[in-house]
């Protein structure tokens, strides 16, 4: 019979290592916090808020710092009777247009029993609904659009909300937008009028270095782990790996959490450096696996084509060898194959995801240049993922491999 007893080693409060945990203090972001505070100062003065744009890679504290400072702002604004501040937060991860953002904002502002449908309204109608919800609130309204880069080029909303008051759509409410983006390119590609309005104040979050990550980990480990839960060197190893790879605090925390789980599973009382290395492998594997699953159908076909070749010889493989395999598997699966150049784009994507290695070669005297590809990850891992693809007729050798590892 299984019996459960509470952990007495390793984790004191493992939820503190989860991604959605909001730390009650921020480490190593003094200058960003200070720029943020300056940009928000008009709010406390009861003036029209500035629009703020935050950008930086994933895991560098954009969301955590925003939550922290906006909570502080709300708390401090309560001291002033003539400041009424409301903050609304929308994560745009699954939203791909200004229209969808506007609909979701309307629904964020409305009570649960009065939601609007996510389709079917003309765009202007949705904006009108949004303005009337916003104006009904009054005072200062800050709207945080996190992960806003998912809307791509369809960025009208980033112009509409900041300009709503000067365009006469709002009289009671002073709106401000805080846009947060993981993608530098998104800022550059914003339409010029949006850039002028939204990017009044820009705050750039750079990747963390190893000492900064270690400081963040130490702070978090104080609550999350029991004293003595880590052998010496463990936190700095997590910090060093993450600093070298991404500069992401999320990666550093994930490493520590995963290493802790491995130590717990092995019923040890301390996390050691081997756990961290093993955690790193495990996380990398699951990331690659996730990358493979998320590919489009033609990405899947290209992957199977390279796998089929790799089961016959060591590689690397040229596109002219991969393409016929791809075509055959596509046709057997009743899918229209892409032209060679388009399939090559999928190979390039696989290389970008770290699933394939890509080398460029020169064709001797004729002067042409071509690419070669081979797997950067274990074939077993690939086969494992590939066996779950639906609607593909896999070559016999690939099927045999998937069966042999089950
Ligand atoms: P981003 O929004 O830039 O992708 P997050 O703000 O979600 O990154 O940060 C990722 C994780 O790292 C979260 O768990 C967050 O609490 C933590 N974190 C990031 N920066 C700091 C920091 N300066 N101090 C404390 N914790 C941090
Ligand atoms: Mg974030």
Structure confidence by residue, pLDDT tens digits, 69-83: 999 999 999 999 999
Decide if 107 contacts 90 (C-beta within 8 A).
no
Its CATH class, for the domain covering 209-289, is mainly alpha
| Highest mean pLDDT, choosing among 4-8, 185-189, 269-273 | 269-273
Ligand 1: which of 56, 211, 250, 256 to mutate, judged by most atoms within 8 Å of the beta carbon?
A: 250
Whole-number pLDDT of residue 406: 63
Centre of ligand 2 to C-alpha 315, Å, is 40
Other beta carbons within 10 Å of 93: 11
The reply to whether ligand 1 has any atom less than 6 angstroms from the CB of 27 is yes
Examine the pLDDT at 42 and tell me if it is beyond 90. Answer: yes
Whole-number pLDDT of residue 140: 97
Examine the pLDDT at 216 and tell me if it is beyond 70. Answer: yes
Whole-number pLDDT of residue 25: 93
The reply to whether ligand 1 has any atom less than 6 angstroms from the CB of 62 is yes
* CA-64 nearest atom, ligand 1: 6
pLDDT, one tens digit per residue, over 252-270 is 999 999 999 999 999 999 9
Centre of ligand 2 to C-alpha 203, Å, is 14
Ligand 1 atom 20 nearest Cα: 61
User: What is the mean predicted confidence (pLDDT) over 2-19?
Assistant: 90
The reply to whether ligand 1 has any atom less than 6 angstroms from the CB of 181 is no
Collapse the DSSP code of 354 into the 3-class scheme (helix H, G, I; strand E, B; otherwise coil) and give the result. Answer: coil
Q: How many helices (H) and strands (E) does the chain have?
A: 16, 8
Examine the pLDDT at 4 and tell me if it is beyond 90. Answer: no
The CATH number of the domain covering residues in 30-204:
3.40.50.300
Which residues of the chain form CATH 1.10.8.60? 209-289
Give the orientation angle of helix 319-332 with respect to helix 297-310, to 10 degrees. Answer: 120
User: What is the mean predicted confidence (pLDDT) over 180-186?
Assistant: 89
Whole-number pLDDT of residue 338: 95
Centre of ligand 1 to C-alpha 58, Å, is 9
The reply to whether ligand 1 has any atom less than 6 angstroms from the CB of 17 is no
295-404 carries CATH number 2.40.50.140: no
The reply to whether ligand 1 has any atom less than 6 angstroms from the CB of 222 is no
Ligand 1 atom 25 nearest Cα: 26
The reply to whether ligand 1 has any atom less than 6 angstroms from the CB of 26 is yes
Centre of ligand 1 to C-alpha 240, Å, is 17
Confidence bin at 87 (pLDDT 50/70/90): very high
Centre of ligand 1 to C-alpha 249, Å, is 6
H/E segment holding residue 357? strand 356-362
* CA-180 nearest atom, ligand 1: 2
pLDDT, one tens digit per residue, over 54-66 is 999 999 999 999 9
Confidence bin at 364 (pLDDT 50/70/90): confident
Q: Give the predicted TM-score (pTM) of the model.
A: 0.84
Ligand nearest to the CA of 145: 2
Per this entry, what is the length of the chain?
406
The reply to whether ligand 1 has any atom less than 6 angstroms from the CB of 23 is yes
Whole-number pLDDT of residue 292: 85
Confidence bin at 366 (pLDDT 50/70/90): confident
Which residues of the chain form CATH 1.10.10.10? 295-404
Examine the pLDDT at 101 and tell me if it is beyond 90. Answer: yes
Pairing of strands 201-204, 52-55: parallel
Nearest to 218 by CA among 21, 19, 27: 27
Q: Quote the CA–CA distance of 239 and 221 in Å, as a whole number.
A: 13
Confidence bin at 21 (pLDDT 50/70/90): very high
User: What is the mean predicted confidence (pLDDT) over 135-160?
Assistant: 94
| Residue 366 burial (10 A CB sphere; 0-12, 13-18, 19+) | exposed
Whole-number pLDDT of residue 19: 87
- How many angstroms from the chain centroid is the CA of residue 338? 29
pLDDT, one tens digit per residue, over 312-344 is 888 899 999 999 999 999 999 999 999 999 999
Token readout for 255 is 């490493």
**Angle at Cα 290 formed by Cα 183 and Cα 257, nearest 5°?**
85
Decide if 378 contacts 288 (C-beta within 8 A).
no
Which residues of the chain form CATH 3.40.50.300? 30-204
Whole-number pLDDT of residue 194: 87
Token readout for 268 is 């040890």
Examine the pLDDT at 377 and tell me if it is beyond 90. Answer: no
């Amino acid at each position: 019979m299984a019996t459960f007893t509470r952990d007495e080693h390793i984790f004191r409060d493992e939820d503190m290592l989860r991604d959605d945990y909001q730390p009650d203090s921020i480490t190593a972001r003094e200058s960003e916090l200070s720029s943020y505070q300056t940009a928000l100062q008009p709010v406390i003065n009861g003036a029209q808020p500035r629009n703020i744009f935050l950008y930086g890679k994933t895991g560098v504290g954009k969301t955590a710092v925003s939550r922290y400072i906006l909570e502080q702002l709300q708390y401090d604004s309560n001291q002033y009777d003539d400041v009424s501040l409301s903050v609304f937060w929308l994560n745009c991860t699954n939203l791909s247009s200004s229209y969808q953002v506007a609909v979701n904002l309307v629904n964020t502002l409305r009570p649960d029993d009065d939601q609007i449908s996510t389709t079917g309204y003309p765009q202007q109608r949705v904006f009108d609904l949004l303005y009337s919800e916003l104006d009904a609130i009054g005072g200062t309204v800050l709207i945080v659009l996190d992960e806003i880069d998912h809307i791509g080029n369809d960025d009208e909303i980033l112009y509409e909300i900041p300009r709503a008051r000067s365009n006469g759509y709002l009289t009671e409410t002073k709106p401000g937008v805080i846009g947060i983006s993981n993608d530098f390119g998104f800022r550059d590609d914003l339409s010029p009028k949006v850039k002028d309005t939204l990017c009044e104040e820009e705050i750039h979050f750079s990747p963390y270095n190893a000492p900064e990550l270690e400081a963040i980990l130490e702070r978090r480990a104080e609550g999350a782990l029991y004293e003595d839960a880590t052998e010496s060197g463990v936190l700095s190893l997590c910090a060093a790996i993450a600093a070298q790879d991404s500069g992401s605090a999320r990666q550093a925390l994930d490493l520590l959490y995963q290493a802790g789980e491995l130590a717990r599973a092995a019923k040890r009382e301390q996390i050691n450096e081997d756990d961290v290395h093993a955690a790193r492998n495990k996380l990398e594997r699951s990331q690659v696996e996730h990358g493979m699953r998320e590919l489009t159908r033609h990405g899947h076909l290209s992957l199977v084509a390279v796998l089929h070749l790799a089961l016959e010889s060591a590689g690397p493989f040229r596109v002219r060898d991969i393409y016929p395999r791809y075509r055959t598997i596509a046709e057997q699966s009743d899918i229209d194959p892409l032209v060679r150049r388009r399939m090559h784009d999928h190979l390039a994507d696989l290389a970008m995801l770290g699933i394939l290695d890509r080398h460029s070669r020169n064709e001797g005297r004729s002067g042409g240049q071509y690419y070669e590809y081979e797997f950067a990850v274990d074939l077993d891992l690939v086969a494992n993922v590939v066996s779950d693809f639906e609607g593909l007729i896999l070559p016999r050798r690939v099927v045999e491999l998937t069966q042999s590892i089950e």
